[in-house]
């Protein structure tokens, strides 16, 4: 029997015990470091650890190609320990996949167990290319006239599909409710999504960023998007930094300010370079086009 001074210290102790057990498994020996580096055979405590591995699809769906993954936090208080008090995996993992000319599929995995468990699968109209999480909208205390069940009161999972569809699902733990579906302009494939300050940005394959705003009552203005042309090729990626969304297209980066949507563009002097990925330190990675 172990006595701890408070519940938080108990949670911390249990977390470290669990992580120590994971670190001793075969997959984490010698960890992320080579033995030749310093002679150690165990990875330091701060190194990422492989908790488990499992197949994403059944034998009947091995031809599916995953293209997007998204983690959503736990919403139900019935699951016990809150996210803020534990370093163990919690929440749900959404995997979006599909086939070139077929239906798309979304698989939902629960991370609230000792090992991830597949809990649900459902199909969508086309290959899922990207996903974005729109968190719960918190109402102001003095907003007495606001209805409790308005659309903005639940987290939303938004998916961009190859056929140009943008699909939204309300998500509370394992329950999924279809909220909306609409098409991008000219039904161009939606390759990336980003949410910032109640605004949804969708990067399209033709180099356009479509911007959808939200009214005070939680409704999205799907019919009147703002359009920002950032290039002639596909939008590679989107990144939210403060009140600005960074959009990359080949060797150019366009900064879109929220909420006025003014833009500023800069780029690499060599056209054979393109910005493939952003990181949150406000720098970007470059990769030469093969």
Domains of the chain: which residue ranges?
1-53, 64-183, 203-290
pLDDT digits (tens, 9 = 90+) for 177-213: 899 999 999 999 999 999 999 999 999 999 999 999 9
Report d(CA 277, CA 257) in Å as an integer. 19
For residue 199, CA distances in Å to 115, 122, 132, 161, 183 come to: 35, 27, 12, 19, 17
Task: Note the pLDDT of residue 164.
Answer: 95
Return d(Cα 219, Cα 89) in angstroms, integer.
33
Buried residues in 200-221 as b, exposed as e (16+ CB within 10 A)? bbbbbbbbbbbbbbbeeebebe
| C-alpha–C-alpha distance, residues 55 and 95, integer Å | 12
- State residue 14's pLDDT score: 78
Task: Quickly count: other Cβ atoms within 10 Å of residue 289's Cβ.
Answer: 10
pLDDT at 79: 44
Interatomic CA distance for residues 247 and 240, integer angstroms? 9
In terms of pLDDT, which residue wins out, 28 or 182? 182
Looking at every residue in the chain, the average pLDDT score rounds to 79
Torsion angle of C-alpha atoms 254, 257, 263, 266, degrees rounded to 10: -40
Report the C-alpha gap between 217 and 200 in whole angstroms. Answer: 16
- The region, left, alpha or beta by phi > 0 then psi within -120 to 50, assigned to residue 269 is alpha
Q: Residue 170 has which token pair?
A: 């309300």
pLDDT in tens, 105-141: 999 998 877 778 888 889 999 999 999 999 876 555 4
Q: For the beta carbon of residue 79, count every other beta carbon within 10 angstroms.
A: 14
13-17, 76-80, 186-190, range with greatest mean pLDDT:
186-190
């Amino acid at each position: 029997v172990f006595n701890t001074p408070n519940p938080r210290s108990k949670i911390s102790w249990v977390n470290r015990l669990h992580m120590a057990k994971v670190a001793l498994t075969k997959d984490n020996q010698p960890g992320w470091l080579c033995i030749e580096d310093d002679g150690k055979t165990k990875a330091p405590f701060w190194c990422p650890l492989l908790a488990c591995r499992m197949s994403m699809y059944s034998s009947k769906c091995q031809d599916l190609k995953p293209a997007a993954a998204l983690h959503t936090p736990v919403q139900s208080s019935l699951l016990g320990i809150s996210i803020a008090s534990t370093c163990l995996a919690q929440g749900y993992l959404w995997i979006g996949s599909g086939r070139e000319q077929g239906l798309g599929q979304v698989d939902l995995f629960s991370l609230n167990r000792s090992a991830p468990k597949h809990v649900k699968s459902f199909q969508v109209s086309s290959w899922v290319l990207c996903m974005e999480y729109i968190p719960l909208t918190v109402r102001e205390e003095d907003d007495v006239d606001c209805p409790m069940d308005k659309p903005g009161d639940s987290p939303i999972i938004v998916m961009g599909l190859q056929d140009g569809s943008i699909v939204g699902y309300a998500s509370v733990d394992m329950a999924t409710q279809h909220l909306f579906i609409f098409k991008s302009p000219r039904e161009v494939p939606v390759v990336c999504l980003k949410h910032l300050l109640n605004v949804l940005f969708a990067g399209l394959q033709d180099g356009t960023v479509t911007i959808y705003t939200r009214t005070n009552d939680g409704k999205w203005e799907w019919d009147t998007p703002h359009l920002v042309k950032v290039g002639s090729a596909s939008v590679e990626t989107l990144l939210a930094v403060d009140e600005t969304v960074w959009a990359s297209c080949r060797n150019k980066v366009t900064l879109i300010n929220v909420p006025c949507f003014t833009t500023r563009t800069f780029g690499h002097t060599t056209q054979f370079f393109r910005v493939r990925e952003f990181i949150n330190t406000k720098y970007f990675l470059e990769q030469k086009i093969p």
